[in-house]
Each structure stands twice: as C-alpha cells, then as structure tokens.
Structure 1
Amino acid sequence: MSATVRAVTEAPVDPRRTRRRLDALTLGLFTVALGTNIPTPLLLVYRRTLGLSDADLTAVFGCYAVGLVAALTVSGAASDRFGRRALVLPFAVLAGLVSLLFVPAVTHLPLLYAGRLLQGVVSGVVFSVANAWLQDLAGPGGQQSAATRGAVSTSLGFAVAPAMSGVLAQYGPAPTTLPYLVHVAVLVVGLGALLTVPETVTVRHPGRLMTLGLPPEARRPFWAVLAPTAVGVFAFPTVAATLLPLLVVPGGVGVAYAGVIAGLALAASAAAARVGRRAERGAAPLGMLVCAAGTALGVLAIVARAQPLLVPASLLMGAGAGLCLTAGLTLTARLAPPHTRGAMNSAFYAFAYAGFGTPLLLAWLGGRLGTVPVVSVFAAVPLGIAAWLWRELRTRRG
C-alpha cells in the first residue's frame, strides 16, 4: 500500500465534543493569524526610525515570502507523517516568540528581517496544517464547514491585526511595542485552546517530506481549478492594503488609516468566506468577478486621486478573496485523501501566498510602463480567470 499515513477522525459520537474541538482549533488558528499582519502598517514607522529605502521594504516582504515557501514545501507532508498537533503547537508558540522579537526591531534592521522570515515560516506551517486538522476533525460530512472555519478565522485574524496595530501605533503609547504585546496575550488564550484538541493522525510511516501531495486523480482538477482559484486569495487584498493607498495618495497616508484600509479589505474577506459556503461551486468565479470590480474601482481612484474610493475598492477586493479562499479550501478537502491532506493544503497555500508578491510586481511594472495601464491590465486578469473557472466547473458539473 503506497499511503504514507492515514488520518483517522474520531466518530462523532458526541457532536458537542466535536464542535468544541473545532471551536478550539478555530480560535487557535485565529490567534496565530492575528500576529502575521501586525507589522504591515508599522512599516511606515520602521521606515522612519530605520531610514528604510524602497529596496529595504522590498527585502522585508521578500523575507516573509522566503520563509513561507520554505515551510510550505515540507510542512504539509510532515504533518501527514508526524501528526497535525506535533507541528501546529510548537509553531504557534514560535508565533508568540516572533512577536516579541519585533519589539527591539524598531532600531535593528536585521531583527526586522529575521522577524518577517520567521513569520513566514509560522504562516506556512500553521495555516496549511491547521486547515488539514480542521478537515480531519470535521469528518467526511463536514468538509465545507471546515473550509469555512479555516477561511473565516484566518481572514479575521488578518483583518483585525493591521487595524489594531495601526490605531495603537498612532494613538497609543509605545507604538512599536504595544501591538505585539497584545498579540502575545491573545495568543496565550489560543494556545490554551489548542492544547484541548486531540491528534488526528494515528498511523505514521516513512515517506517523502517534500511533495505537493497530489494523488493522480486530483492533479487535473488541481491545476485546472484549484491553482487559478488560489490566485485570488491574497493578490487582491494585498494590493488593496499596500499598493493602492500609495498610488492614490502619493504623499502617503497615516499609520492608522493604512491599518484601517488593510483591516477593511481583510474583514470583507472574512465576511465573504461565510457567503462562499452557500455559493457552492460558483464561489470561485464569483470571487474573481468581485475582485475585478474592486480593482477597476481602484484604477478609477488612482486616475481621479479619489481617496474615498479606497474604501469600497478595498472591500470588494477583500470580499472576492474571501470567496476564493472558501472555494479553494472546500475543493482541497474534497480532492485530498486523508493521507495527503496536509500536503495538498500546503500546495494550495503555496499558490495563494504567491499573491503577496503582486504589489511588488505591479510597482516594478508601473515604474516602466505606467501605473494606470499596468493596474488596468491587472483588473482584466480576474475576468479571464473567472471565465476559465466558469467553463471548467460547468464542464465538471455536467
């Protein structure tokens, strides 16, 4: 038998116990996600205190991506082999230690790089493995619910963090310390919840760790449907949170405002994730259409220098991303056998997180070809993906 591991979910003899465990894991996932975006609006502060250049900011984002990709290549398959709990718990603890590492980073650039690199590692491990853990606990009949829980808790953590850190940094004491201490306090609660969740992988055998975990029957739908859907998960809200404010308000925006814009985009993602549960197979193409509408509104905001348009543009781009995330996690759960569930979640997140590089790519192309033409072409990309997904999903339904 070629299976390297078998994930066994306890029979839901007591539905209330199963729900409590799902709730605990959802809370734990939220508290880890909360730490990931705390530095985002604070980059404006770091830029001032450390004298960061555009190249330095690019390197900060690059560190996160490097850590993320490195973790995703092994974390899913490692959880299939060693267990979900064995990976999520220590890396959730690491999330708190990383937040504390950021406190002295305000005057030490190497610590800022190290913190973002380690945040990428934590994200790559916890988000992919915790979603596989949710799917294990939910059982065959609860896969869509597990996908919604994973999407909402992650998006909500992403949404609360920049709004919280932006407001605390602008109006509270110790702007580069207090947001991280708040995260550590919340994370302690999440760790307590995670300790109550049992392991679901009970049979472990040697196997490859660096693998996408795509069984033969899942490869065609993964590349045709899941990978294109993943494009919409982070590319659009990241552009809304980081690039659009700079393009619309060339003089720059305040730390609190930057945090609120990022928070709105990601809050819309969390809200739309629940709607996506009802949209079934139409969630992915619908999400892409909503992303296209938001990006088009962003282009209008750039041309007109209309700062008020940032809010509806961010809401639409975030909502489209939430629909794509729920659709992607639901399909991942359906395609993945239990023994490759962790690796396949990692594969989906690897494609999704590639979207974090979109603002850098658009900024680079905009400097050479012009901002408005480049962002206008970018707005057409989700329209093409929506048409492709609609055709693919209609064919499969038929």
Structure 2
Amino acid sequence: MPGIGTRRRTAVGAARCRRAAEAPVRWIWLAAWPVAAVFVLSNAATPLYVVWQRQMGFGRGTLTVVFACYIAGLLGSLLVSGVVSDRVGRKPVLLPALGLALVACLVFATAGGVTALIAARLCTGIAVGAVVSAGMAAVTDVAGPGRRPLAALLASCAMVLGAGTGPLLAGVLSETLPAPTVTVFAVEAVLLVTAVVVVLRMPVPRPAADEGGAGAGAWVRVPGVPRRAGRQLALGVAVFAPGITATSFVLSLGPSLLAGLLGTSSRIVSGALAFVMFLCATGVQFAVRRRGLRTVLVAGASATALGMLVLITAVHAGSVAALVAAALLAGAGQGMGQLGGLSLLNSAVPANRLAEANAALNVGGYLPAALLPVSAGYLSDVVGLTTGTTAFGAVLAALAVGGGALVLLLSRRTSTATP
C-alpha cells in the first residue's frame, strides 16, 4: 500500500494537472510561441548563405557542413535536454536555451568567417534541441490531459511555421534594408526576447519526477520512451525522418538549385521557397487533424516519396514549377510525419516522460537529416548538382516508401486514435 508521502506527491501531481487543464486556451497558443521564435532563428540564415559564400569563398560541401553543424548541436542537446526538463521542469531548460539563441544572433550578425558560422549554427542547434523537447512538452503541460490533441497540433505547427517564416523574413529584410546580416538577426533577437517574457509567465507546472521513471537513470543519455510506447516511437520516426530530411535538403541546397534553374541569387526568392514549403507543412496538419493516425502517417510517407521523384524530374527538366512542387510535397511529408509522431507520443507517454520522448523522436528524425544532405552536397561538388540531387532523391524516396510500409505493418497492432 502506498505510504502517506507517496499519496501526498500523487495528490500534488494531480492538482498540478488540474491547474494546467484550467489554463485559458490562449495560453496554449502562447506556450507555442517560444517554439516558433526559436525555429525562426533555425532557418533565418538560409537566404544569407549566398552572401557569406561570396564573401568567404566556400563551396556547396562546406555549406552543407555548416548547415549540419546545427543538427550536431541539436542532437547533442537532445541527449540531455529532455531528461533534464522532465526532472527539473520546462522553464529551467527553456530560459537558457533562449539565452543561447540570443548569443547565436550576435555571432551571426558579426560573423567574419566559416568558424563563426559554425559556432552560431551549433548554438542554434543546441537551443532548438531544448525547444523541441522541453518547449513542445510545455505546450502539452499547459493544455492539460483533456487537450493533448490540440497541444500536439499547435506545437507541431509552431515548429514548421517558425521554420518557414525565418527564411522569408530574412530574405525580405536582407534585400530591402541595409546591413543584411545584421538587420535580420537584430529583428530575430527582438522575437526571442518576447519568447523569454512568455516563458517567464507561462502557467506550466513542474513535472512530478517520481512517477513513470523520469527520475531514474543517467542525466545524459540517448533519449527513449517507456517500453509500452516503443512501437509508437518507431511509427513516428519511420515517416518523420524522411520528411524532415527532404526539407533539410531544400533548405541547404535549394538556393543553389534555384540559382541553376533561374539564374538568380535573390534571397527573397529562396526565402519564399522555404516559406511556402513550411506553410504547406502547417496547412496540411490542420487539414488532416481529424484523420486517423495511420492515414496521416501513410499520407506523409507518400508525399515525401512523391516529392523526391518530382525533385529528380525538376533538376533533369530544368523546371522551376517542378522544384516548387517538390518543396511543397516535402513540406507536406514532414508536417504529417511530425504531427503523427507527436500525436502518438502524446497519447502513449506520461507527462513526466514527454520531453524525453519528444527528444527521442527528433533524434530519429534529425540523424538522417544531417547525414544525407551533407553527403549530397559533397557528391554534388564532385559529380554536379544534377547527379548529386538525383542520388539523394532516389535514396530518400526508398526510405519514405519503407517508412510507409512499416506503418502499415506495425499499425495493425497499434491503436491509431484520431489526433
């Protein structure tokens, strides 16, 4: 029989859940703002790479390495941020992450060489890693147990909408205002300061670390999920990983593809391409939110596979329209994979393990998103952008098809509640 102390802790945890459930709906939306603000930073540099390439003289291989350093920082952050957040709370993780994002803005704005760009991308990646684990879990905590589907939708949409707004905002500001690499990150710093204010006032409870195993094990570890949620994690990663790898490729090498197809290095055009890709990722999540999770995940895998086939067609036919279509399909694939993965975890993982579970999903997604675009970038330097893109598209299409097949196989034994 549980002791008095255990019953008291359980009662306190239940009271915290009730308080979170009573939070006004506007706070669920506001809780998603720090996620969006940090993801604006995550891709704000995309249209500016052509400026830095011209100033610093580096090739596509180096460009994809700079891009991948962000993912290296993110993966390193995920090894600790989810566990720490589940044990000590969301705010003690989110506030330092936002501070590091502000440091990244300063380094980007004053960058004089590739080393500075790498440092800024690492800082950005660490901040994003904390946000995709602790920040997304905070949205769920504020929503409460009865509004978890809404929390998954808003957290996922905040991520992709922020990721798309960053390149567009940077493209427009850098083309229309002086000192492009300074102005962009000064504006982003203001957005991050508002996110700090939101986190300070956010009505999020501290998780009860004595339930569900959150207090056990090492502080730094490969993130995981409770044993009963392993299948849900596998289903999410199977679709989310190819989807986010596709959008990562468009972000890193999309400007080079546009320059080859259009003969333009317009930062507004490259930023707009990324924006419409992530706008599609946002819109598709609202469109499919009432569908069963198996339907959402299979549709996401199909969109990614089709997007890669269209990408191959675009580079061989020299078609800008096909490139835009490929970007839209890639965005749809990531959006549905991300929503499906987060919804599965929200339905199967207790609140005090949710940040670690979110970290596990993103580790599975970002590993191929780091490795494959870098490989494609260096291959493109050797054999040309067309051949490198073709090889990348074929490999990723095969992975997406495999992910969809895995969903069909495993979901027969897994609950697929509507998100």
Whichever residue aligns with residue 379 of structure 1, its letter is A
SS at match of 1:111: helix
Which deviates the most, 120-129 or 181-190?
A: 181-190
Equivalent in the alignment of 1:92: 98
Correspondence 1:217 to 2:228: yes
Whichever residue aligns with residue 394 of structure 2, its letter is S
Match runs of 1:46-125 below 5 Å = 46-105=52-111, 107-125=112-130
Equivalent in the alignment of 2:267: 255
Match of 1:391 among 409, 412, 415: 409
Using the size of structure 1 for normalisation, the TM-score is: 0.90
CA distance change for structure 1 residues 374 and 70 in 2, over 3 Å: closer, same or farther? closer
CA distance change for structure 1 residues 127 and 193 in 2, over 3 Å: closer, same or farther? same
Equivalent in the alignment of 2:194: 189
**Aligned equivalents of 2:272 and 2:395: distance in 1?**
27
The number of residues matched between the two structures is 394
Q: Given that residues 44 and 167 in structure 2 are in contact (C-alpha distance below 8 angstroms), is that contact kept between their aligned partners in structure 1?
A: yes
Match of 1:291 among 293, 299, 304: 304
SS at match of 2:51: helix
**Aligned equivalents of 2:255 and 2:202: distance in 1?**
41
Correspondence 1:128 to 2:138: no
Q: Given that residues 166 and 258 in structure 1 are in contact (C-alpha distance below 8 angstroms), is that contact kept between their aligned partners in structure 2?
A: yes
Q: Given that residues 165 and 275 in structure 2 are in contact (C-alpha distance below 8 angstroms), is that contact kept between their aligned partners in structure 1?
A: yes
Which deviates the most, 138-147 or 17-26?
A: 17-26
**Aligned equivalents of 1:56 and 1:363: distance in 2?**
8
Whichever residue aligns with residue 115 of structure 2, its letter is P
Whichever residue aligns with residue 228 of structure 2, its letter is E
Tell me, which stretches of 5 or more residues in structure 2 are unaligned?
Answer: none
Equivalent in the alignment of 1:320: 333
Match runs of 1:129-168 below 5 Å = 129-168=134-173
Q: CA deviation at 1:73?
A: 0.4
SS at match of 1:214: coil
Using the size of structure 2 for normalisation, the TM-score is: 0.86
Match runs of 1:231-270 below 5 Å = 231-247=241-257, 249-250=259-260, 253-270=265-282
Correspondence 1:274 to 2:283: no
Whichever residue aligns with residue 314 of structure 1, its letter is A
Equivalent in the alignment of 1:354: 367
Q: CA deviation at 1:38?
A: 0.7
**Aligned equivalents of 1:178 and 1:162: distance in 2?**
13
SS at match of 2:32: helix
Whichever residue aligns with residue 112 of structure 1, its letter is L
**Aligned equivalents of 1:378 and 1:67: distance in 2?**
23
Q: CA deviation at 1:172?
A: 2.1
CA distance change for structure 1 residues 98 and 17 in 2, over 3 Å: closer, same or farther? same
Correspondence 1:306 to 2:311: no
**Aligned equivalents of 2:85 and 2:22: distance in 1?**
26
Whichever residue aligns with residue 82 of structure 2, its letter is G
**Aligned equivalents of 2:45 and 2:148: distance in 1?**
33
Equivalent in the alignment of 1:169: 174
Q: Given that residues 73 and 124 in structure 2 are in contact (C-alpha distance below 8 angstroms), is that contact kept between their aligned partners in structure 1?
A: yes
Match runs of 1:194-213 below 5 Å = 194-204=199-209, 207=216, 208-211=218-221, 212-213=223-224
Equivalent in the alignment of 2:35: 29
Q: CA deviation at 1:233?
A: 4.0
**Aligned equivalents of 2:203 and 2:20: distance in 1?**
14
Tell me, which stretches of 5 or more residues in structure 1 are unaligned?
Answer: none
Which segments of structure 1 move beyond 4 Å, counting only runs of 4 or more?
5-9, 11-16, 364-369
**Aligned equivalents of 2:67 and 2:115: distance in 1?**
13
Q: Given that residues 25 and 193 in structure 1 are in contact (C-alpha distance below 8 angstroms), is that contact kept between their aligned partners in structure 2?
A: yes
Which deviates the most, 198-207 or 175-184?
A: 198-207
SS at match of 2:353: helix
Q: CA deviation at 1:397?
A: 4.7
CA distance change for structure 1 residues 56 and 243 in 2, over 3 Å: closer, same or farther? closer
